[in-house]
Amino acid sequence: MDELSRSLGQTGGALERDEHASMVLRLRRACTVGVVAWPAFGLVDWFVVTFVHPGRLWLYLALRAAGLLPLLLSVVVMYGRRMPGPRVVRWTDAGTCLCLSALITVGCGEFGGIVSPLVLGVLLVLIGRAAIVAERWQRAILPIGLIAVAHPTTLAVMALFEPSVAAQFADPTALAGFALHLMFLSGAVAVTLVGGHMMWALRRQVFQARSLGRYRLVQRIGVGGMGEVWAAHHNALKRDVAVKILRPETRGDSAAIARFEREVRATAELRHPNTVRVFDCGVTEDGLWYYAMELLDGRDLHAIVTREGPMEPVRAARLIRQAAKALAEAHARGIVHRDIKPENLFVTSLGGEGEYVKLLDFGLAKLAARGEPNMSLTQHGWAVGTPKWASPEVAGGGEALPSSDVYGLGAVLYFCVCGAPPFDYPDVGATVRAHLSEAPVPPSQRRSGIPHTIEAVVMRCLAKDPEQRFRSAGELAGALKDAMMAAGAPELVGVPARLEAPPPVRAAGSRGWDGHSPAALPEVADDLLPTAPEQPAVTLTFPRARERT
């Protein structure tokens, strides 16, 4: 998909990507139909040879076999492991149409020559393609034009080798019939171009008009196990937001809906500036559950480390400290996140100044203060965490506590400074056993230059016994501040007025999005970062009756 994104990135972005994906799906359907219909028309060949015009049946059947080759090649291309790019799709479509039209015309030489009624087969190819693959005329003119031009061109080439065809070109009556065929063929070209363009325009309007309640959906930017995240626009407020939608197939799943509501409640209660903000929630008339949150620019920690390599220890500590302060508020309100991992820590900027962490995805959060029972690990597989970042007590099937989130932050900090998680075995069971009993390799043994103060914080977070870890996320935040100062990090530095960096791709506060952000940003003391105003206290309740949208 990276190659596809690059090839579409210069020509229009999200809408073009949606249209391209739709085009590939339609071409898959067309190829499948063609593979069945093309040999099936062998019955027509048999009927012609038997009842209409005696000829060589084997020649017709050989042409059918030859036509299957480009059709099967198209199937391989369209159903490949990777979605083909626009250029591949364009030339596969055009080449297949050209081959089929030329083969039909060769069959015309066996039955009637330049006035053969088999020219109707060329018209069927035109109409069949237009019915399945509707696109704007600028793109359709190549394959449609090749279908039309292949007929007279093939006949002209055949006249060089077939005396009977050459004689027809010298016969005024045959030429008049041939001209009539070309007129109908030209009319079919015009109809398919105009009709296909009109269908494309209607489909584009549908793409642009997709909406969810009061939000117009612009681009899907994340997919999770139970929902999707879309960049959207609030038409009345003229504001861009990220909208998380519960998958339609979970409409009757009470457990999925309860988890979705819990995620909204947990996130909406938190007002710390390092927690993603929730603005709205609701249920559409057709039963889709959704909530709207702030739309962020940047990348998550996993994407940053994957692309740039291990972070400078002080930079990593500063980012994790911000996440720890956000978690401290959650723990104070009785909320345990239970899914701390690099993908859920999103690095953005605030007013274009400095790096700012946003804590995402409270879909697995436990609202301990409400007396909510712990979720069973067997309910949704790893329902209370991801094995690679799970604390020993959670990996062993125990209850997730605030200290479990502290362990997760320590594992993420380890990943940031070392470029790999504490335990990274191919087998999930081996990873779980390592969390339970295996001591992690100290970061300084995997990478030089890590201050011992920061390493000490990491190792204490990763202690097997929860009692030996930091007692709270707030205590961890304080320890990280002391560790950075002991490592010589300047704590009182000015905030740059502006960060010169390539414009980032807009991304949602959700897992699974891989945008782009500057490769390296100046180190800034997070205490002096511009402080976002706290979220006002919000109470969001999903309406039991479907809201009017």
Which residues are designated catalytic?
339
Residue 174 structure tokens? 């045959």
Give the DSSP letter string of 17-85. Answer: HHHHHHHHHHHHHHHHHHHHHHHHTHHHHHHIIIII----HHHHHHHHHHHHHHHHHHHHHHTSSSPPP
Burial class (CB in 10 A: 0-12, 13-18, 19+), 249: exposed
Contact between residue 387 and residue 431 where contact means Cβ atoms under 8 Å apart: yes
Residue 444, amino acid: S
CB 502: neighbour CB atoms within 10 A? 9
| Alpha-carbon span 412 to 460, nearest angstrom | 13
Q: Which residues of 83-92 are buried (b: 16+ CB within 10 A; e: fewer)?
A: bbbbebbbeb
CB 358 within 8 Å of CB 348: yes
From the centroid of its chain, how far is CA 291? 19
232 neighbors 215 (Cβ within 8 angstroms) = yes
CA distance 293 to 270: 13
Token reading at 311: 């972070």
3-state DSSP helix/strand/coil % of the chain, to nearest 5: 55, 10, 35
DSSP strand E in 180-315: where? 211-212, 215-223, 227-234, 239-246, 278-283, 289-297, 299-300
Q: Could you give the residue ranges of the DSSP H alpha helices within 419-544?
A: 428-437, 443-446, 452-461, 473-486
The β-bridge partners of 357 are 347
The single-letter code of the amino acid at 200 is W
> Rounded to the nearest 5 degrees, what angle is found at the Cα of 200, between the Cα atoms of 196 and 206?
150
Helix (H, G, I), strand (E, B) or coil at 435: helix
Alpha carbons 70 and 92: distance in angstroms, whole number:
9
Cα separation, 303 vs 300, in Å, equals 5
Partners of 315 in the β-ladder: none
Distance CA 408, CA 458 (A): 10
Q: Read off the tokens for 170.
A: 């010298």
